A and B are shown apart, each in its own frame.
Chain A
Amino acid sequence: MGALTFTLKAPPTVRVDLSPLTPEKLAGLKPRDLSKLPLVAGRDGFTVGDLFTVRAGDAGTIVIDGGSGLFDSVGAEMGGGTIRVTGDVGARAGAGMRGGRLHIEGSAGPWLAAGLTEGRISVTGDAGERVGGALPGRMAGMAGGILTIGGTAGPRCGDRMRRGLIVAGACGHEAGSRMVAGTILAGRLGPDAGVLMKRGTLIAGRLDGPPPPTFVSCGEHDLQVLPMLAAWVATLGLANPPAVPRRVTRLQGDMAALGQGEILLSA
């Protein structure tokens, strides 16, 4: 059986919550029932059939053919299976995801992968702010899993992150803010990276602007862990992954917080 496919009829004009369309929630449903599923959208809401043409298939593999920046919570809370979106998604894609694979062939909005605990999310384009971060009111950001972004992640990437890996072509300002642990690898980091980070590792080819004033230089090093990380990143199948530097300048901080975090910059 092929993938369960939702083909977009016409671009939406209001924000639509697509969190009902996950492999777990759709397992066992007939195509007719699928079309009647209500979606929270705008003031009135509508059904899946109003937005998409449904082609029956294995609910373990979902394809959303045609994206929109107004599609929120795509794959949120999903626990397994695969969702592939051809096009953009809006806010909170993969938020609270517990397993499986979410592949977005386009760009994503803010809070992508917020609170992700396991599984893998990949975005070929750019992403909004606080990806891998903590949803408002939550203490913890991403706590496991892998998030890869082909383009640029917005500000505060990995906010309050505590475990897992984020790989991005570049990060906006304040990447790794309030980070508790975990690893962010980027080709380039925006200004004020690592602000208030307790532990965790930011790795980049370079940093925009001066080193943050509350980070202290620990000199240049060849760290044994970096080739291992490079080997792992190479297995992720990314089109154009940022290089993991072999020799790095180690900046320790944020000394205004616990100070056990680090920014490793290509030396």
Chain B
Amino acid sequence: MPKLKVNGIGIDEGFAEAFDMAATGVVITADTIEWARVAAFSMTGFATSVIACGCEAGIERELSPDETPDGRPGVRVLLFGFSPQICETQIVTRVGQCVLTCAGTACFAGLPDGTPIKLGASLRYFGDGHQIAKQIAGRRYWRVPVMDGEFLVEHHTFAVEGAVGGGNLLFLATSRAAARAAAEAAVAAMRDVPDVIMPFPGGVVRSGSKVGSKYKGQPASTNDAYCPTLKGGVKSALDPEIEAVLEIVIDGLSFAAVQEAMRAGLHAAAALGRESGLRRIAAGNYGGKLGRHHFHLKDLV
């Protein structure tokens, strides 16, 4: 059991190891917040991990009408990839298939500056010659005719390098329900932190992975050290009483944002106390050699 404790919950000595990423973002607005959410859920659904999705994306926060360019309710989506070029390909494909197609939406740049990357600049061609460019207050927008009126989309959004992907926390608990409750509490707290997303379903991942596999061509495989059903048979990281582990992965626009999210999540989960079934909070790393950013849990306490 770790020596460090918060509210009776053990906090590991370890650290989360995170990587340099590029990031971009969009603001999606719609006639109602529900439809803005629908578009954002669609475009960020299959964007949990760069391993097979090409990028990681999620809803950063919801925006009130006075925070959006067109005065309608909206959401801000952040998308992380290994380079600005990948971010551009991914954002154009995803907005094209999931936002352009979604009833009543409009789409705007979601970062204030950085390297301009194409958004409406590519999507305008859907207009087949009927698209109209409009410059408003120094920014360029495209009005693309669609069946419910016009899809308004900004010409560019921006990409930044120096974003951080892969911050994480692991919640070790005596039951699956307890692990889930801890993860839910942590995700709820992290959603209040600006400039971060938790790209996995509901913000939570249950299939933590290790690098490599016994099978050829399988780049990642299950993290057996944290699988409770294997704890007798492999070199396990789990105490006998642990029956379930859930992880939260955090991508953010800066080291500070990810660290703040991890701090908020750690304390929110620990606040549930030992009676909740939560026993330990840990973090995943690869020995510290792969990622430049190390988030030590002791710094978060």
Contact = CB atoms under 8 A, between A and B. Distances in A.
Interface of A: 163-165, 181, 183, 199, 201, 221-225, 227-229, 231-232, 235, 260, 262
A223 B133 contact: no
B146 to A, nearest CB: 11
Contact of B137 (A199, A223, A232): A232
Interface of B: 69-72, 106, 129-130, 132-137, 141, 143, 149-150, 152
A181 B133 contact: yes
Nearest to B151: A224
A57 B258 CA distance: 53
Which 6 interchain pairs have the tightest Cβ spacing? A232-B137, A224-B152, A232-B136, A228-B136, A228-B70, A224-B106
21 contacts: A163-B135, A165-B135, A181-B133, A183-B135, A201-B132, A223-B150, A224-B72, A224-B143, A224-B150, A225-B136, A225-B141, A225-B143, A225-B152, A227-B71, A228-B69, A228-B141, A228-B152, A229-B136, A232-B136, A232-B137, A262-B132
A199 to B, nearest CB: 7
A92 B152 CA distance: 36
A85 B139 CA distance: 30
Given A224-B106, A224-B150, A225-B141, A260 B132 contact: yes
Contacts of B133: 181
A16 B265 CA distance: 73
Contacts of B137: 232, 235
A199 B132 contact: yes
A232 B137 CA distance: 6
B71 A222 contact: no
A196 to B, nearest CB: 18
A106 B135 CA distance: 28
- If over half of A's interface residues share one DSSP class (helix, strand or loop), that class is named, otherwise mixed; here it is mixed
A224 B149 contact: yes
Contacts of B134: 183, 201, 225, 229
A245 to B, nearest CB: 15
Nearest to A258: B129
A48 to B, nearest CB: 35
A123 B282 CA distance: 67
A223 B135 CA distance: 15
A66 B129 CA distance: 49
Contact of B149 (A201, A222, A262): A222
B152 to A, nearest CB: 5
Contacts of B136: 225, 228-229, 232
Nearest to A229: B136
B65 to A, nearest CB: 10
B245 to A, nearest CB: 46
B149 A221 contact: yes
B68 to A, nearest CB: 10
B143 A223 contact: yes
B140 to A, nearest CB: 10
Contacts of A235: 137
Given A201-B132, A201-B134, A223 B70 contact: no
A9 B201 CA distance: 77
Nearest to B134: A225
Nearest to A182: B135
B109 to A, nearest CB: 13
B203 to A, nearest CB: 31
B93 to A, nearest CB: 23
A254 to B, nearest CB: 15
B147 to A, nearest CB: 13
Contact of B70 (A164, A221, A224): A224
Contacts of B152: 224-225, 228
Name, among A201, A224, A225, the residue most crowded by chain B CB atoms within 10 Å (CB to CB): A224
Contacts of B143: 223-225
A96 to B, nearest CB: 20
B265 to A, nearest CB: 37
A229 B149 CA distance: 17
A201 B135 CA distance: 11
B129 A260 contact: yes
Nearest to A236: B137
Contacts of B141: 225, 228
Contacts of B129: 260
Contacts of A224: 70, 72, 106, 143, 149-150, 152
B297 to A, nearest CB: 46
